[in-house]
Structure 1
Amino acid sequence: MMRAAVASFEFEGNSLSLRVTRRADFERSGIFESAALLEAAAGKDLALTGGIDTLRAAGMELVPVFAAKGGAGGHIEDSFFAEARSRIVEGIAAALPLQGVYIAMHGAMICAEEKDPEGAILAALRARIGPGIPIAVSLDLHAHVTHRMAAAADIIVGYETYPHVDAYRTGACAAGLLVRTMQGAIRPLTRIRKYNAIVPVLGGATLGDAPMAQVAAEARALEAAGRALSVSYFPVQPWLDMADVGITGVAVTDADAPAADAAAQAILDAMWTRRRDFELPALIPAEAVQEALRREGRTLLIDAPDSIGAGASGDAPALLAALLAHAPEVESALCIVDPGAAAKAGELGEGAEAIFEIGAWQDRRWFKPVPVTARVERLCDGLFTYRGGPVGGATGRLGPSAVLRAGGLRILVTTHAVYEHMDEHYAACGIDIGGCRLVSFKNLMNYQKLLGPGVGFIALHGPGGAPLRLQDVAWEKRQRPFWPAEDMPQPVTITRDT
């Protein structure tokens, strides 16, 4: 029986965010080793689960090593990164002999010192296990794919969809190619092509005939034509302030370097030619609330600059202030990270009324807390289960939370910044968004699953840890020229890592 090691280490960084993710933050979602890893992944919609199930179905003996999933934030504390890297690299090396390795990663991790953590892990692993054991990696669609990663891994496969609904399938695809490699059916070769460009995330949906859906169709056409075993497109996490960050095309072929180069270039050009189409209209908070009140039905207000899934703090009170000023009696719901307000509500108890200073608890570069006279309507533990997406089946932990009622507005104040999928976090704390006319979300894409007849959305723009207007950011380390800071007719190619 052939043996394959499996591991997972996922985190999405953001150079503009003040959030620091430490070991304790990973522990809330769980850190697993050995048999506990297999138990934790079982039945989930994770990429790791897809990889495990595929390897197991092929009759491989699984060697579970290490798994930790940390969501999004600013950067990971160096000490925990060093610990995780050691556990993955040394754990896999200790399991030798092996015939293959599968690792689930996000691809946009950053640390205070190491700016290419995934590349560092893969390079260290390759140095320890040698050139003969194939390594397969699955990545998020917004991964920052580096040349170092491609040099160390034999197989790189990215999510196809945004909103992300194919994490499991992506892990299964990467592991499927690994199985074929282990069986001697293919000799995988991965090539990447990169342009010095970043594009807005908000317009990157793969739904319908959206621009990124067209890119996805081109990738599948390249595969169907036999030009590559796998073609992936990476519009990248744009809020990474590093010189080698850019949109990337990746192709895996059966030992055919020219074909891999051509397919990676073709899918990269498919993104570049549509670069202007990824920009969507957006309004400042006050304008967004006023526009929503002119519409019929329910409107989802997308607080894009404070998107938790993009790594922002989740504590910006700009939309809260706008709702209080322009729609104080309208039935509305807003979620905001503020552990101080949540703790105060817990001390006062349900039914108590007080003045709460809400928001800007961590990031005060643009905003100050907003004073709100509110009644503590409900206290909750903040636990919920994700109904889908890349963490489907996993447990979300808002920490001690409270629903504060101010006029028509219900304010859900939470202890932790937690990735929003749909409305699971609201429902867990007793808020039925079906009864609301205005609902705030701090995510950039998953809200689209809630759209339909009588439900529309308005995106917000303004200052924050995940600003929409990328050309307005005071970038310090990016190499110029790059799109969209410069209106370049021709792209600049990134040929090496910094």
Structure 2
Amino acid sequence: MRVAVASFEFEGNTLSNQIHGRGDFARKVLAEGAAMLRAVEGRDLAVAGGMEVLAAAGLEVVPLVAAQGGSGGRVDDGFYREIRDQIISGAAAAMPLAGVYLALHGAMITESENDPEGEILAAVRQVVGPAIPITASFDLHAHVTPRMVAAADALVGYETYPHIDAHNTGRRAAEILVGAIRGRIRPVMRLRRIDALLPVAGGATDDPDAPMAKLRRSARRAEQEGRVISASYFPVQPWLDIPDLGIAGLAVADGDAEAAAQVADEIVREMWDRRREFEIPNFAPQEAARRALAHASPRVLISDAPDCVGGGAPGDAPAVLAALLEQATATPSAVLVVDAAAAAAAHQAGVGAALTTTIGASLDPRFHPAVAVDAVVESLHDGSFVYSGGVSAGTPGRMGPTAVLRVGELRIVVPTHATYEYGDEQYRAAGIDIRALRIAVLKNPMNFRTLLDHDTAWVMVAGPGPTTPSLDSIEWKVKRRPFWPCDDLPQPTYLGD
């Protein structure tokens, strides 16, 4: 009994000006056929977890392709069609199949398609027919659409943020697939969506008192009580200016559509009822730097939320760098700003050289101007590292030629390419131990929490950028208002499912 398996994961952002193609995916994970098995083996990825379950169940895994591009703007249409067609033709060539498992993100967008995962699932369904079960694992921030639900038997989302359960989510999706193949369960799925968006930074699950942690407990309770097989919550990737974007609850039951619908509605309604709990304080860059310097804790992490690479920003915003240059050059601190030209200039100048350059706004100059810097080249690196946790655990990170520039006690890490941040891997790759610093800047609104301890506090930056935490500040052009949080609505508006 053969099961086709593929991974195609990318998180889009319509506020980003970036287009991503083969080279961006190749720097992360891109492998076809049997090479896919070697590329993901032993890693904490959803597709690896799913294949482990399938193999343990005695099913023959047919690897099609693994393509993981992280986050950014839109995927190049040509590259998207190439991977899409590999999945579709691979499934067709592998027939007869007992099932299909896909590891997807759920919030990919391309130059011309706002629901590419829905298109892929629908095309695979057309290939295998109505009787062959299809399951997929999704990121917690997936934009789940009715087309996805209509084409699949079960969709299963991550339950943690910071994301530490990708591998387990793949296992859960594969376990449902095995049950359906063996005839032990008859999965039926229902989706409920509300026209609302939630600030990403307030969606932590590692704090038991946080709203998403409470929602997590509600979802698991519905499963433990036997009401459904799987309950997922999708607070959605909020930086997508598309018409039908909204928070979602989704449930998979064993043959009981009414139970699935009831649990899905309970989940999304709880998100709505707790919506105000997701809002947390954030500050303009200058004020954030001032607060970090004045904080009583030995170490403070500044979350540069508007320039989150993991949410689709290019990582080149120099606003926090400008604030630190003004206030903190006498303080042991570090900040990372992507700038290929500045990195190349530092490599050409060499270690110990004085360098006058501009940094930042090289990829997206819409929000902040570049910052002029007179620095010393402290060290040079190839920018390679391996992720220690999260959705990319065990996979390589490639910043490309990277320089560390020094201005007083401030170190500026300047990589060639943006990379997703999980912990402090980028700083360690540049020879910097953030535990020895007073201030370290992380370009994400959530994963910095993996670095918190009793000696470490944090402050979050507000302001313009592709991943601004102030959703009501965005100039929405496609998504129609009113919707929360741009409008203070007393009752939820449900989106058609």
After superposition, residues 134-149 of structure 1 pair within 5 angstroms as 134-149=133-148
Unaligned runs of 5+ in 2: none
* 1:453 and 2:454 correspond: yes
Unaligned runs of 5+ in 1: none
Give the distance between the partners of 2:358 and 2:90, measured in 1 at CA.
47
- How big is the shift at 1:437? 0.2
Contact 1:283 1:459 in 2 (8 A): yes
Contact 1:107 1:144 in 2 (8 A): yes
- How big is the shift at 1:356? 1.4
Residue in structure 1 matched with residue 269 of structure 2 by the alignment: 269
Runs of 4+ aligned residues of structure 1 deviating over 6 Å after TM superposition are none
Contact 2:302 2:441 in 1 (8 A): yes
Give the distance between the partners of 2:44 and 2:445, measured in 1 at CA.
20
Residue in structure 2 matched with residue 47 of structure 1 by the alignment: 46
Give the distance between the partners of 1:210 and 1:493, measured in 2 at CA.
24
Q: After superposition, what is the alpha-carbon deviation per residue over 1:25-59, rounded to whole angstroms, capped at 9, x for unaligned?
A: 11112321111111111110000010010111111
- How big is the shift at 1:182? 0.5
Residue in structure 2 matched with residue 438 of structure 1 by the alignment: 439
Q: After superposition, what is the alpha-carbon deviation per residue over 1:43-81, rounded to whole angstroms, capped at 9, x for unaligned?
A: 100000100101111111110011100000000000001
Residue in structure 1 matched with residue 216 of structure 2 by the alignment: 216
- How big is the shift at 1:479? 2.0
Contact 1:288 1:460 in 2 (8 A): yes
Output the amino acid matched with 1:99.
A
Give the distance between the partners of 1:65 and 1:490, measured in 2 at CA.
45
Residue in structure 2 matched with residue 227 of structure 1 by the alignment: 227
Q: After superposition, what is the alpha-carbon deviation per residue over 1:228-277, rounded to whole angstroms, capped at 9, x for unaligned?
A: 00000000000000111100000001111111110100111111100011
Contact 1:244 1:494 in 2 (8 A): yes
Give the distance between the partners of 2:388 and 2:24, measured in 1 at CA.
22
Q: CA RMSD in A?
A: 0.7
- How big is the shift at 1:125? 1.0
Equivalenced residues, count: 495
After superposition, residues 243-392 of structure 1 pair within 5 angstroms as 243-296=243-296, 297-392=298-393
- How big is the shift at 1:306? 0.5
Give the distance between the partners of 1:72 and 1:373, measured in 2 at CA.
32
Indicate the SS of the match to 1:421.
coil
Residue in structure 2 matched with residue 20 of structure 1 by the alignment: 19
Residue in structure 2 matched with residue 495 of structure 1 by the alignment: 496
- How big is the shift at 1:24? 1.1
TM-score (norm 1): 0.99
Contact 2:305 2:461 in 1 (8 A): yes
* 1:396 and 2:397 correspond: yes
- How big is the shift at 1:432? 1.0
Give the distance between the partners of 1:105 and 1:140, measured in 2 at CA.
7
User: What is the aligned-residue identity percentage?
Assistant: 53
Give the distance between the partners of 2:430 and 2:42, measured in 1 at CA.
25
- How big is the shift at 1:209? 1.7
Residue in structure 2 matched with residue 166 of structure 1 by the alignment: 165
Indicate the SS of the match to 1:220.
helix
Indicate the SS of the match to 2:190.
strand
Q: After superposition, what is the alpha-carbon deviation per residue over 1:110-165, rounded to whole angstroms, capped at 9, x for unaligned?
A: 01111101001011111121111100100000000000000001010000000000
- How big is the shift at 1:448? 0.4
TM-score (norm 2): 0.99
* 1:130 and 2:129 correspond: yes
Contact 1:309 1:444 in 2 (8 A): no
Indicate the SS of the match to 1:402.
strand
Output the amino acid matched with 1:220.
R
Give the distance between the partners of 1:156 and 1:341, measured in 2 at CA.
44
Residue in structure 2 matched with residue 67 of structure 1 by the alignment: 66
Q: After superposition, what is the alpha-carbon deviation per residue over 1:151-210, rounded to whole angstroms, capped at 9, x for unaligned?
A: 001010000000000000000000001001110101111110000100000010012221
Give the distance between the partners of 1:87 and 1:34, measured in 2 at CA.
10
Give the distance between the partners of 1:329 and 1:92, measured in 2 at CA.
59
- How big is the shift at 1:405? 0.6
After superposition, residues 106-125 of structure 1 pair within 5 angstroms as 106-125=105-124
Moved more, 159-168 or 16-25: 16-25
- How big is the shift at 1:358? 0.4
Give the distance between the partners of 2:470 and 2:420, measured in 1 at CA.
22
Output the amino acid matched with 1:95.
A
Q: After superposition, what is the alpha-carbon deviation per residue over 1:260-316, rounded to whole angstroms, capped at 9, x for unaligned?
A: 110100111111100011010011111111111111310000000001101011111
Contact 1:12 1:108 in 2 (8 A): yes
Output the amino acid matched with 2:58.
G
Contact 2:97 2:128 in 1 (8 A): no
Give the distance between the partners of 1:440 and 1:220, measured in 2 at CA.
35
Indicate the SS of the match to 1:202.
helix
Indicate the SS of the match to 1:411.
strand
Output the amino acid matched with 2:216.
A
- How big is the shift at 1:343? 0.5
